[in-house]
Every structure is written in structure tokens, then in C-alpha cells.
Structure 1
Amino acid sequence: MAAKLRKGDKIVVLAGKDKGKQGEIASVNPAKGKAIVEGVNVALRHAKATQGEQGGRQPVAMPIDLSNLALLDKNGKATRVGFKFEGDKKVRFAKTTGDVI
């Protein structure tokens, strides 16, 4: 199945402890159905000091399920994503506005 959400997309979280937060997708794992979003679902990880890096508690963005994310359209509202053909190219479009993403 084609990926509806991709790296660099602006999204909003639909469910969970970070509901309503917005961010940009840093990476997507389609096999597991998860994505890492900057500033969302942040957990503290304890790191040991190494040469050149300081140890301590460091915030790390954890994966969030793709079903809990929605793309933001140009108006800043959550939208679903559809596919259509323009000429011979398959493109994604926002279902609310019909604009090509």
C-alpha cells in the first residue's frame, strides 16, 4: 500500500497523550506502521557519558502509530489523504480541499 504520510509532512496528533500537538515527521517505518514526529511522544532516556558527549537524561522522540496522525492542509486543519492520477503521475491530495500535496 502506498504511504499516505511521508517524511517532512506537517501533521497533527489525533489521539493519545499528545492529542492536538502539531509537528513534522522526521522518519516513517511503513512496515511497523509508525512514525517519529519531532516534539511529539517524547520520553527521557538515560545516557552514559562518553568521550565528547555529556551523559544524563536526554529527551528522545519515540515512534507513534500512523493511525493517530493526520496531515495538516493549507488552512491548518486535519485532513485525510487520497490518491489520484494527474496525467500519468500518481499524486496525493487533501480530501478537505482537493489540493495536491
Structure 2
Amino acid sequence: MKFLVGDNVIVTAGKDKGKTGKITRVFPAENKVTVENANIYVKHLKPMNNQAGQRLESPRPMSTAKVAILNDENKPDRIGYKVKKDGSKERVFKKTGKVVPTPEKSKK
């Protein structure tokens, strides 16, 4: 999967089209990601014995086809791979050809 936790992305389709945020979780097997402040669903809890009723907001995963990474100019872009001379891969923006910075959360 080309997206990593911490990447800045923009939602390109659906009810949250145009919203931007960082990726918080990645699900490579399902080809889905969760984006902060996007695809938020509300679950209503009824009041129980000593607890008041409440609304729980939780982000749901969305398809990677509905998000695009933001490049240096804050424009949507796609990610490609470039193989370096030593054989390792690095992510690059398709439009500009510049290297995609690795987010802090994904560095090990």
C-alpha cells in the first residue's frame, strides 16, 4: 500500500469531499484508511442505570480510491515508486517527481 500513517491527504469523493487530514490507521488487506475528521459516524447510546445518554463519534475506514495525497503545493497527487541505485525504493509524487517525505509516525 502506498499510503502511510501520518500522510496528509484530501478526500476526493463521498460526503466529506474536499476535507483534508492525516491518515490515522491503514488497513492494507482491505485497501482502506481512516482519515482524521473525515467519514465520522455517530452512534447514539441510550441512557442506562447511572449513565446519561450520549453520542459517540467514531471515524470509519474509507477506500484508498477516495483519497489523494497532498504534494508540496497542497494539491492532490498520486504516489509512485522509484528504485534507487542501492536497490531500495522511495515514494515519489507522480506530477512533480519529488520525493514524498516519510511521516514521523511511520518512521521506525
Secondary structure of 2:30's aligned partner: coil
Q: Partners of 1:11 and 1:87 in 2: how far apart? A: 29
Uncovered stretches (5+) of structure 2, i.e. residues with no partner: 101-108
Deviation at 1:60, TM superposition (A): 0.7
What TM-score comes out, normalization by structure 1 length?
0.87
Q: Partners of 2:74 and 2:5 in 1: how far apart? A: 18
| 2:64 matches 1:60 | no
What is residue 98 of structure 1 aligned with on the other side? 97
Q: Percent identity?
A: 40
CA RMSD of aligned residues (A): 1.9
Q: How does 1:43-82 map to 2 (within 5 A)?
A: 43-47=41-45, 56-82=54-80
Find runs of 4+ consecutive structure 1 residues off by over 6 angstroms.
Answer: none
Uncovered stretches (5+) of structure 1, i.e. residues with no partner: none
2:91 maps to a residue whose letter is: R
Secondary structure of 1:67's aligned partner: helix
Q: Partners of 1:67 and 1:30 in 2: how far apart? A: 13
Evaluate the alpha carbon distance shift between residue 8 and residue 63 of structure 1 in structure 2; reply closer, same or farther with a 3 A threshold: same
Aligned length: 97
Q: Partners of 2:30 and 2:81 in 1: how far apart? A: 22
